[in-house]
Structure 1
Amino acid sequence: MVVPVTDPLLSIAVQLFIAVGIGALVGLEREQAESGGSFAGSRTFPLIALYGAVVQAFFPAVLPVALAAISLPLTVAYAGKIWIEGDIGLTTLTAALLTVLLGALTTYSSLGTVIAIIVAGIVTVLLSAKGEIHGFVDQIEPEERRATIKFVLVAMVVFPLLPNRELEGLLGLNPQFVWLMVVFVSGLSFAAYVLSRAVGAERGIALTGLLGGFVSSTATTVSMANRTSGTPALYQICAFSTVLAAIVMFPRALIEVAVVNPALLPHVLVPLGAMTVVGLVVAGVVYWRSTVERGIESDIENPFRLRPALVFGALFALVLLVSEYANDWLGSSGVYATAFVSGLADVDAITLTLSKLAADGTITPEVATTGIVLAAIANTAVKAGLAWILGTRALGRLVTAVLGVVALAGVVLLFV
């Protein structure tokens, strides 16, 4: 008797095939890395992925029991591997148990299949990047490691405990939203910090300015200015790094707007995008004219530190309150004044604030856009001032000229 190939049958066959593929992907990596040893490899991993897929497809109610059942022989087999080979790492055992769940996900739903494929890719990358990950961790000082762990723990513990509503005692602030913005900005900076440490100490100048701008454009400016004080001949290449760090502030602001208020992004994209393009073109000319070919190390510190995060949270809350009251009392002119003054110290706080106010309907998208651009121009002016005060005159003139053109582009677009 020939069984017709129906749609459900074809669907489950594809899902089982994907489960086997996921198991093979992880198993091949373990076998190639020789981490599975006598425990599991290119045959065992596909089988345990298929095990999870079949159980979920036909006996979903007993999946927890099935997982516990396979965990026992896997644990015994791994204990034997430890006894024979002396390898006490738990990575392969963990990967094996996770592969069972990934197999089950493939037959759970269409979304589960997609998630299983994505997670399998992440798992494979993590497993194959063992040397790079351990090398990166070894580069981090113990103090920075403790600071990161402390920040992550505090962020995870504090966030769910904060009330997710506007409190009259805090003048209408939402504590959970404020803390969420603190974690978001710190996480954005930490991503750049990880990249900066991963590429090693001998970074190129472009990467110094780029990553330094995402972590702290002000710190990068100070570092470059101090460098020219000791070695004036480096003023052109230091100017390039300074300008690039300042320009990165604009795409960083666009990312923040996209997260908090995506509807505002088209309004802000034109002026900040134009300032970015103009800045990159002029900075490229500066780089092309420079004859010095050497890397410059900026003083980039781990942004996952509790005190700066709390300071930013307080600043963000203050700017949010001041902006709301300034809009109520003085209208759009009050928002512009607040944005400019706030931008002198930090662009992130005012960008997030105006994005939220525009999302709530407190101010119009046009007012929010103008305020964000004014804050960016004010912060750009601060970079030029730091170059004059801490660096050489040559650095100050060059940075002021380049950032002046960038700021002029922003001003022109505000009135177009």
Structure 2
Amino acid sequence: MVDPATDPLVEVLSHLFVGVGLGALIGLEREQSESGGTFAGSRTFPLFALYGALVAAFFPRTLSLAIGVLVIPLTVAYAGKVWYEQDIGLTTLMAALLTAILGATAMHSDTGAVVAIIVGGITTVLLSVKGPIHDFANQIEDAERLASVKFILVVLVVLPALPDRSLDVLYGLNPRFIWLMVVFVTGLGFVAYVLAQFLGPEQSIAVTGIIGGFVSSTATTVSMAEKTVQNESLYHVCAFAVVTASIVMFPRALIEVAVVNPELLPHAAIPLGVMTVVGIVAAGALYWRTRSADTVEPDELKNPFRLRPALLFGAIFAVVLLISESAHEWFGTSGVYATAFLSGLADVDAMTVTLSKLAADGTISMQVATTGIIIAAIANTIVKAALAWLLGTYHLGRLVTIVLSIVVLSGLVLLAI
């Protein structure tokens, strides 16, 4: 008896169903948004997917020709749409071509079906958020847009050109890895920056702290401290934003560890997770003391996709990596911990990525890397409290210090265990 799960006919039909289903999903979105007009809708897009799927299943060698043939009626239909509706947008046309390719991709293999589902989902989301995307683009100033373009171009040009090996002239550093970490860390901040443009950090003090923590917890702390000087009655809500931004540093570090050295994640997840939970509980207690009507808008967040800060982070990361390796060689684990504390005063990301890399290379143990990351996080948390005292009011400094001291104490307890 043939197992239905391995029956070739069942497998083909299941892949065909995936392709046609994706076409139907995209078609429904086009018709509901009325973006397709008379060009294509809920019936036509599934047919595009079915066309691509059948060609890929039974005539795979002619797939490129079949897509080329499909371009002809699509071009005629698009020309008619432009003539009658005065709409020259190419979105629906490109969606139609992509739907046919998705149908073919779904038929390719099990992996192809998964890829088709992911790409189809992304496509549907992009099509359905036309308004927010255009609003977001209009909010970006020309200088910020130019900075992003420059950064992306540098990434695309520089990254492939950098050698992926240790260079003696750079004291054994791998230039491509360093630049890749620059792009990764900057990308985390950019995701939060984009989120801020959609949500508006002024909508909630929690959003203010979370977004500020991913973009720059130090900048958020400085901003909140300055606002309490301008209006001392806001010290409760500003303290909550500072504390939240500081807490976000811990899960952010876990993300960096997971990317650079997944094997280190189980070791770092427990202490950083405990510090996160303790911080959330302490912040929650602080939140209940704030007035629900209070809102605070931080200073405008700057686009992290800027070349100068990225190069500065790359330089800091390279120096920290070299110092950490030398400190471990000369002074052992105590040298690593001292470097972690000093580096953490300025930047946790550089130390987190550095220790994750050293642990992955076997230069230091997982335990030493985890302890070093905690020390760096504690050092940076202390800096946030100091900034609140120095730049803010007495009430802000006292409140932030009390809450963050609880978090730091939990970290010290974990180090002592």
In the other structure, the counterpart of 1:34 is 34
Contact kept in structure 2, 1:202 and 1:295, CA below 8 Å: yes
* Mapped pair 1:106 → 2:106: yes
Tell me how far apart the structure 1 counterparts of residues 5 and 395 of structure 2 sit (CA, whole Å).
77
Q: SS of the residue aligned with 1:165?
A: coil
Contact 2:201/2:211 (<8 A) preserved: no
More moved, 241-250 vs 290-299: 290-299
Rounded to whole Å, the distance in 2 between the matches of 1:341 and 1:115 is 44
In the alignment, residue 68 of structure 2 is paired with which amino acid?
A
Which position in structure 2 is the counterpart of 1:22? 22
Retained in 1: the 8 A contact 2:201–2:207? no
Question: What are the Cα deviations for residues 39-73 of structure 1, in whole angstroms up to 9, with x where unaligned?
Answer: 11112111111110011001101111111111121
Q: Which residue does 1:379 correspond to in 2? A: 380
Identity %: 66
Given residue 301 of structure 1, which amino acid in structure 2 is its aligned partner?
A: K
User: Where does residue 148 of structure 1 map in the other structure?
Assistant: 148
1:30-69 map, 5 Å: 30-69=30-69
Once the two structures are overlaid, the 10-residue window that deviates more, 337-346 or 269-278, is: 269-278
TM-score (norm 2): 0.97
Offset at residue 394 of structure 1 (A): 0.9
* Alignment RMSD: 1.4
1:201 Cα deviation from its structure 2 partner: 5.6
Q: Deviations over 1:70-114 (max 9, x none)?
A: 112111210111111110000000000001100101111111111
Q: Is the Cα contact below 8 Å between 1:258 and 1:265 reproduced in 2?
A: yes
Whether the 8 Å contact between 1:237 and 1:292 is mirrored in structure 2 is no
Superimposed CA distance per residue, residues 246-275 of structure 1 (whole angstroms, 9 cap, x where no aligned partner): 111011001111111111112112221111
Q: Distance in 1 between matches of 2:24 and 2:181?
A: 41
Whether the 8 Å contact between 1:193 and 1:302 is mirrored in structure 2 is yes
Shift of 1:350: 0.4
Opposite residue 287 of structure 1, the aligned amino acid is: Y
Match for residue 213 of structure 2? Answer: 213
1:188 aligned residue: 188
1:193-239 deviations in Å (ceiling 9; x for gaps): 11111013632001100110011000000000000001111111111
Amino acid at match of 2:409: L
Aligned to 2:255: 255
**Aligned equivalent of 1:165:** 165
Structure 1 gap ranges (5+): none
Runs ≥4 in structure 1, deviation > 3 angstroms?
A: none
CA distance in 2, matches of 1:118, 1:191: 19
Q: Is the 8 A contact 2:190 2:304 kept in 1?
A: yes
Task: Tell me which residue corresponds to 2:117.
Answer: 117
- Structure 2, unaligned stretches of length 5 or more? none
How far 1:182 sits from its partner (Å)? 0.2
Q: Give TM-score, length-normalised by structure 1.
A: 0.97
Aligned residues: 413
Contact 1:234 1:292 in 2 (8 A): no
Further displaced range: 197-206 or 46-55 = 197-206
What residue number does 1:80 align with?
80
Report the counterpart of residue 370 of structure 2 in structure 1: 369
Helix, strand or coil at the partner of 2:350: helix
Task: Give the Cα–Cα distance (whole angstroms) in 1 for the partners of residues 365 and 153 of structure 2.
Answer: 38
Task: Report how far residue 14 of structure 1 moved.
Answer: 2.2
Give distance in 2, aligned partners of 1:19 and 1:251: 37
Q: Report SS of the residue matched to 1:289.
A: coil
Deviation at 1:292, TM superposition (A): 5.8
C-alpha distance in 2 between matches for 1:255 and 1:398: 29
CA distance in 2, matches of 1:347, 1:318: 14
| Correspondence for 1:132 | 132
Q: Give the Cα separation in 1 of the matches to 2:165 and 2:20.
A: 47
Q: Is the contact made by 1:222 and 1:390 (CA closer than 8 Å) also made in structure 2?
A: yes
